[in-house]
Amino acid sequence: MKLFIDNRTPFFNPYYFQTMCVLYFPGEKFPPKDDASTNAAYFLLEKVGSDNTSFYKAKVRLESGGRFGEAEFTTDGYVPVIEADDEFFAALAVGKAFLKAGKQLFGFSLPWGYLTGLRPVKRAKYYLEKGYGADAVRRLFTDDYSVSPQKAELSVNTALREIDMLTGIDSNACGLYISIPFCPTRCEYCSFVSYANKKLFSLIPEYIVKLKSDIIKTAALIKELGFKLTAIYIGGGTPSMLENSRLSDLLGCVYSSFDFSDLREYSFEAGRPDTVTAEKLNLIKSYGVTRISINPQSTSERVLKRIGRMHTVGQFFEAAEIAKKAGFACVNADLIAGLPGDSEEGFAKSLDDVMALDFENITVHTLSIKNAAELRFDPETLYDPAGETAKKCVAYAYDKLTAGGYYPYYLYRQKNTVGNAENTGYAKAGYENLYNVLMMEECSTVFACGAGAITKIVSPDKERIERIAFPKYPFEYLYPSEKQTLSGIGEDTIRRFFQEEGLKSL
Ligand code: SF4
């Protein structure tokens, strides 16, 4: 889309305006890919007046298909819920003008207001920890950020849960992620890097050998740096697609390499029900895994076919029964709202089916179409920013799950999500997934091993974060090109980071 910016403040770079635009114009490119596009946005942002009496003024015009919406907002006399600085007022002026113009043009409001590029729960947590009450933070979201009352409540309740969860977590706690980027087949909505091609499965033996070597190095580094391993997550891909002997080899390596005495949880994704057998789950459990995910995404046979997920609803229920019998402390299921071919009633049935299984942990995602997903080629399923069905589904999930004794404990948003909705993890009290929170809230170091995995190192004061990414694809992970400069598991960078942090505290 065409973007015209007259920004007379020093705060915002063009990227801020672009990320705001995609809330109403998902998937747009800047500059436009298609010169004939009728989508355009005009922004003016300026500070008016001298120091004591100054305020911000924004004008926004949005155009699409020969129609337009236009609005203006000034912060003159505006009293924010919290103490605010110039940057906050400037964002507020442009954000509110943008939302008014968008509502005028498209006829619907955005559930998360103009919040973009900010993690809502991190934001809520920040103010709660600064001493603002839950009510003030809720009003900050609704009044200043123009977030809907339900999303404000969701953010604050999730933040309160996270604060509880993180109380008592040691400052030297860390997490570990192990990536198995292979799947039996590829689901059409998927944008993860995962090999789902029989030819490429021949790389699995080599992949496991390299992965085990990285796991052993990581264990040594964790010990050397004095970290306590608190949460392990084996994800992908579909780790449960590995043959039992290979799985045993991998899990045995994890078991013998790390000190489990501080471990609070050990999660394993058996995401695809068609990979689950009683023998496999018993084997996984015998290596200390406490939490397992079995993901139906929907319990409608028709929807599963539509999204190219090659398992049946019956296989999900069978896998759920096997998981229950295996005796894991926590079983999780993922559902997706906004799937093509699904309806509000269909989603409600899927959620009710999963709740009837009495799983401890249920994650409700919203469909997000990224470039790597096959569905993006299908005009029928292209991203819909209004996404009324998806919005109703996630609202239903919030009401139903919270009434059923589940609490939201982690939440994240992605670009290009149907209905601008979110992804929320719900759990019964005591069954939250700590790894997800450590990772999402960037409050502890998380080491990672395997293709596509990213180690996130966090300074003791949480002010500094560095990311060390492994090559994205299994092939590159095994045979890195000269351009891929990551040496080993990035131990030199990690050591340097903590040496600098140690020196800072002297
Ligand atoms: S099982 Fe999961 S990771 Fe694998 S293709 Fe399907 S959605 Fe993607």
Name the pLDDT band for 98 (thresholds 50, 70, 90): very high
Nearest-CA residue for ligand 1 atom 5 is: 186
Identify the residues whose C-beta falls under 6 Å from ligand 1. Answer: 183, 186-187, 190, 192, 194, 196, 236-238, 271-272
- Mean pLDDT of all residues belonging to the chain: 92
Report residue 372: phi and psi, to 5°: -80, -5
C-alpha–C-alpha distance, residues 444 and 55, integer Å: 39
pLDDT digits (tens, 9 = 90+) for 433-471: 999 999 988 889 999 999 999 999 999 888 899 999 999
Quick check: 245 pLDDT over 90?
A: yes
Cα-to-centroid distance, 237 and ligand 1 (Å) = 6
Cα-to-centroid distance, 186 and ligand 1 (Å) = 6
186 CA closest ligand 1 atom index: 5
pTM of the model: 0.92
Q: Which residues contact 218 (CB under 8 A, 6 or more apart)?
A: 176, 257, 447, 449, 489
Cα-to-centroid distance, 198 and ligand 1 (Å) = 15
Cis peptide before 237 (omega within 30 of 0): yes
Q: Which of 180, 182, 187 is the pocket-test mutation for ligand 1 (most atoms within 8 Å of CB)?
A: 187
Cα-to-centroid distance, 184 and ligand 1 (Å) = 9
SS3 129: helix
> What average pLDDT score do residues 420-429 get?
95
Nearest-CA residue for ligand 1 atom 6 is: 187
Cα-to-centroid distance, 275 and ligand 1 (Å) = 12
Name the pLDDT band for 381 (thresholds 50, 70, 90): low
189 CA closest ligand 1 atom index: 7
Domains (range + CATH), the chain? 1-107 (3.30.160), 168-448 (3.80.30.20)
Q: Which residues contact 409 (CB under 8 A, 6 or more apart)?
A: 158, 161, 162, 165, 425, 426, 427, 432, 433, 437
Name the pLDDT band for 480 (thresholds 50, 70, 90): confident
C-alpha–C-alpha distance, residues 299 and 259, integer Å: 39
- Kindly compute the dihedral angle of the four CA atoms of residues 46, 47, 48, 52, in this order, to the nearest 10 degrees: 170
pLDDT digits (tens, 9 = 90+) for 332-349: 999 999 998 899 999 999
**Residue 217: per-residue pLDDT:** 96
